[in-house]
Amino acid sequence: MKNTKIVIYIVVALSIFVCVEPAIAGPGGKIASVAFETFWGRIILVALIIIFMPLMILNFFQERKAEKRARKDLRFMANVNPQFDWFKIQERAKDCFFRVHSGWENEDLSSVSDWMTDWYWQNQQMVYLDKWKKEGLVNICNVRMSTYFKPLLFVHRNAQLGHEDSIVVISIKAQMEDYLQNKASKKIVEGSKGFKWVETIWTFTIDNGKWKVSNIEEGALAIAYAKLVKELPNIESTIAGGLKEN
């Protein structure tokens, strides 16, 4: 009976994620879902929140635990190299966030290529922006403000000089308007007008000595990254010889 209940919860949870999965638009190919903007949509949302409240509380504490671990490890590494100072990373993340959105709306990510890894910006340009341009579509993406940057996962890699390929995964919450529109008819294909709070997960990788955007995903994946923390080694063990650089 217990296993049956677990299976039911899993099926329901998966159904929810399928129903509210973002439409393709916005940096990373994601746009805030409009599934719950109608009256009945809001009623369903309230019901789902009540049903899944225990799971949501558990996820909240798991994310808090992951955030504390990421901040702790970054503080340790900041003593080795100031590049890992959280304040500096957060400022870099803010710059990347606004610049990438600007490049996305201009349909040309080459203008912000210094802020993204080569593979990622070229992939996004080809898979989304160039494709939409051929189809006569344009993504309207306006950011009013960003208020919260939360580190979820920090992985230090010391296989190469300069800590290349180290990554930090950050949850970013911002108030933004994001929808896909037909250029000729002005008809909205996906999403809706109006600003809403949106959470996205941004991965930053040290590439040629700089933190660059290497992935952008939907906010629902925050808990998946938080759960990866238990697989991380002690941060001290990732420093070859324990040498201090600064």
Residue 29's pLDDT is: 55
Residue 191's pLDDT is: 83
Task: Give 189-202 pLDDT, tens digit per residue.
Answer: 988 888 988 899 99
Spans of the chain, pLDDT less than 70: 1-26, 28-42, 44-49, 52, 55-56, 159-160, 240-246
Task: Give 120-167 pLDDT, tens digit per residue.
Answer: 999 999 999 999 999 999 998 889 887 789 999 999 997 667 799 999
Burial 115-144 (b: 16+ CB within 10 A, else e): bbbeebbeebbeebbeebeeeebbbebebe
Go through the domains of the chain in sequence order and give each one's CATH number: 2-240 (3.10.450.240)
Angle made by CA atoms 74, 226, 233, in degrees to the nearest 5: 55
Q: What distances in angstroms separate CA 175 from CA 49, 100, 112, 148, 209, one per listed residue? A: 22, 15, 22, 10, 31
Q: What distances in angstroms separate CA 177 from CA 26, 31, 172, one per listed residue? A: 10, 9, 15
- Percentage of the chain modeled with pLDDT above 70: 74
Q: Do 80 and 246 contact (CB within 8 A), yes or no?
A: yes
- Percentage of the chain modeled with pLDDT above 90: 58
Residue 61's pLDDT is: 82
pTM metric for this prediction:
0.80
3-state secondary structure of 214: strand
